[in-house]
A and B are shown apart, each in its own frame.
Chain A
Amino acid sequence: MKFKKKSTLIFTEKNAIIKLQESSIKYILIAASVISILTTFGILFSILFEAIEFFKLKSFYYFFTGTQWSPGIENSKFGALPIFWGTLMITFIALIVAIPIGVFSAIYISEYATSRIRGFIKPLLEILAGIPTVVYGFFAAITVAPFIVKICSYIGLEASFNSALSCGIVMGIMIIPIISSLSDDVISSVPSSQRKGALALGLTSVEATKFVVLPAALPGIIAACLLGLSKAIGETMIVVMAAGLRPNMSINILEDMTTVTVRIVDALVGDQAFNSPATLSAFALGLALFVITLILNIVSLYFIRKFKEKYKVNTL
């Protein structure tokens, strides 16, 4: 009897130690996972906190609607509208370049390329995606911008060396892989029964693609474009190196313009005191950037979910 009791005692004792080990490891893992939440909130709060400091000094309303940005020492005005405009223009040019090329490349890769060509092309596009943006910035400033100036002078137009056009083109090249790789995944996941149904009606393969596959893939393609848009809006190095510093609200894409990210960098690498409005304006701009990219991300996820639900796809 006694012997039996002792062994069960050892059993329960050992059990307790093991249980303690198990739960402590589990808590360590949970602690690690919480760090991602802390990071998001950290970003949000650090930006929010300093942005609020800014808006204590400068008008919130004027920030979003005013058109003069002059962070001088006296009588400084902080109307960010021209800065948002610059981001908008350059991003718009980038999308005009990237969406057609990206989507059509994706159509080719998923619908017409043999698996050998696919195996060759996909790594190349991944290389394009992996090039650091500072390198694109150098390319924009040293090769593309002077080229545009030269071409424009041949046809009698005057282009700035910091033209929005050169930034937009290079930014477009940068986001081509993003749009094409997600679009390719989406188009490939449209069930082949759709395509077969169209072909069985005597339609050519292009007609099948245009009428059936693309409309089916449309939510996913939209999500890909939104992702590209979000990347373009938040892009810093290309514009810091190739765009201007001057807030300029013009529709002439050959002029120099500035963007939100350029002004953030400019405000923080100068010699101003940290609590001056000029420096804090970086956080106000950062807050605007955070909110816009967050919204774009949520909308993009919504479209991807819509696509997944329709075709019960899980590989995206």
Chain B
Amino acid sequence: MKRKNNIFYDKTLSKRHKSAKRFKFYAIFSLVLSISFLVFFLCDMFVKGLPALKQTYIKVDITYTSKCMKSYRACIDKKLRKVISRSEIRSIPLKIENNPKLLNTTVSKWLLANHQVDQYIKGHYYKLKSKDKRIVDTLNKENRVELNFNRVFLTKGDSKIPEFAGIKSAIIGTIFTLLVTMLVAFPIGVMTAIYLEEFAPNNKFTQLIEVNINNLASIPSILFGLLGLAIFINLFGFPRSSALVGGLTLSLMTLPIIIVTSRAALRSVPDSIRQAGYGIGLTKVQVVLDHVLPLAFPGILTGSIIGLANAIGETAPLIIVGMIAFIPDSPTNIFEAATVMPAQIFTWAGMPERSYIEKTALGIMTLLTILISLNSIAIYLRKKFETKW
């Protein structure tokens, strides 16, 4: 390829170029490796979580008699009781109470199958007695077994019965917790940023604050949990496991992000705006609040959304303040015991029953979807309101 008799030919070159190619190969290989981790990992979640979108339902004849009111097991054929979810069976007396006309009738309904049957139908590892397995196979031949959309996942809270466990209470808990987090962290963070950027003189006190913020950003998250335990729960006496305590703990963790991004947003407003304000006789507060702040607002908002996204995924500090209790019902205010989505994922991941694996994966996919949406909104807002000065 290179003519040997041209005066620029250099015999060391081919070796050096080969060595250069090798080096570049390592570099690009590392990058490909990093990206493929991401891809592999997302695919793995997808594959594991997809089965949870469907649940097995079995068509069963329920006979509502007065005997059922006391011993609800009597309403359903004994053989089928083993394969139906306990949750369905337990709710029969309540149905009769709400609708007395059902007494002495026989209705054919699609009921939730129990989790071992569900795993069997989905082709995963299962633990069924061969007797029960035969029952399911027979029902299957009679077309009385069906995989249908999982209505339970988003409408029910956690449950000790695997097939009846959903993520709703965790989602509500997350919403309450993050409400507290943002209500505390946003004002304090923005005010700190305004002070540091616009008002603070260059003295030791300011340096102390800046060093502190830098430090806070790199403290391991679990230590915030220890702070929450020692001060919010033990000292202040706030209720353990509540969205209030969790939210306050997370707000301290989110402060550095909001402060840093808000400062950057304030800094990007050109000085000419401030000078113009002073030039017409406005006070410093008026200039900052009425002129600089509105212009910096999109950047501040973007930073807060990023902080929010960070807080949603935090688990360790919330475990320490107790938000991994078993919470079947959604909380109704910030003082009640609650759990959050990542903590729910954590709890489910530790459950022995195999059907929790797919639920955990589906929960992870839900969480990741929310995170990606938040980040996309932040990026979209940033691009939309980006003014080139």
Contacts and interface: CB of A to CB of B under 8 A. Distances in A.
Contacts of B230: 46-47, 49-50, 283
Nearest to B227: A43
Contacts of A137: 346, 349
A283 B231 CA distance: 13
B214 interface: yes
Interface in A252-282: 261, 264-265, 268-269, 274, 282
Contact of A112 (B24, B187, B349): B24
A108 B30 contact: yes
B33 interface: yes
A293 interface: yes
A102 to B, nearest CB: 8
A306 interface: no
A76 interface: no
Contacts of B17: 204
B259 interface: yes
Interface stretch (A25-33, A153-161, A193-201): A25-33
Contacts of B315: 132-134, 236-237
Interface string B206-249: 00110011111011111110110111001000000000000000
B331 interface: no
B368 A135 contact: yes
B contact residues, range: 35 or more
Interface string B312-331: 11111001101010000000
B353 interface: no
A137 B346 CA distance: 9
Nearest to A32: B191
Interface stretch (A54-62, A67-75, A138-146): A138-146
A46 to B, nearest CB: 4
A22 B316 contact: no
A81 B224 CA distance: 24
A72 to B, nearest CB: 23
Given A39-B227, A139-B41, A237 B212 contact: no
A241 interface: yes
A192 interface: no
Given A37-B208, A40-B212, A43-B226, A237 B220 contact: no
Given A105-B34, A233-B220, A241-B346, A46 B226 contact: yes
A248 interface: no
Interface stretch (B93-101, B140-148, B192-200, B272-280): B192-200
A125 B314 CA distance: 19
A311 interface: no
Interface in A121-179: 121, 124-128, 130-135, 137-139, 141-143, 173, 176-177
A236 B45 CA distance: 21
User: Taking chain A's interface residues, is the majority helix, strand, or loop, or is none over half, making it mixed?
Assistant: helix
B31 A43 contact: no
Nearest to B41: A139
B221 A236 contact: yes
Given A108-B28, A109-B31, A135 B345 contact: yes
Given A32-B192, A33-B209, A237 B316 contact: yes
Interface string A200-220: 000011110110000000000
B178 to A, nearest CB: 14
A239 B17 CA distance: 44
B27 interface: yes
Contacts of B349: 134, 137-138, 141-142, 241
Given A33-B196, A204-B16, A142 B368 contact: no
Query: Which of A28, A139, A176 has most chain B Cβ within 10 Å?
Result: A139
Nearest to A234: B220
Given A36-B209, A269-B324, A42 B371 contact: no
A188 interface: no
B320 A22 contact: no
A132 B31 contact: no
B161 interface: no
A230 B215 CA distance: 12
Interface string A97-118: 0001111110111011000000
A247 B361 CA distance: 30
A18 B283 contact: yes
Contacts of B252: 39
A28 B41 CA distance: 47
B342 interface: yes
A21 interface: yes
B107 interface: no
B125 to A, nearest CB: 12
B285 A21 contact: yes
B309 interface: yes
Nearest to B325: A269
B195 A33 contact: yes
A35 interface: yes
A309 B312 CA distance: 37
B364 interface: yes
A301 to B, nearest CB: 7
Interface of B: 16-17, 19-20, 23-24, 26-31, 33-35, 37-38, 41, 44-45, 48, 187-188, 191-192, 194-196, 199-200, 208-209, 212-216, 218-224, 226-227, 229-231, 234, 252, 255-256, 259, 283-285, 289, 309-310, 312-316, 319-320, 322, 324, 342-343, 345-346, 349-350, 357, 360-361, 364, 367-368, 371-372, 375
26 contacts: A21-B285, A29-B192, A37-B208, A37-B209, A39-B252, A39-B255, A43-B226, A46-B226, A47-B223, A102-B34, A104-B27, A104-B29, A112-B28, A130-B310, A131-B41, A131-B313, A132-B312, A133-B316, A134-B315, A139-B45, A180-B34, A209-B23, A236-B315, A237-B342, A283-B226, A294-B215
Given A135-B45, A297-B214, 19 more contacts: A22-B283, A26-B195, A26-B199, A26-B285, A33-B192, A35-B192, A36-B259, A39-B252, A40-B212, A43-B219, A101-B33, A104-B30, A105-B27, A132-B314, A137-B346, A138-B345, A230-B218, A234-B221, A286-B223
Query: Top 8 A-B pairs ranked by shortest CB distance?
Result: A234-B220, A132-B313, A46-B230, A32-B191, A104-B30, A206-B20, A236-B316, A108-B27
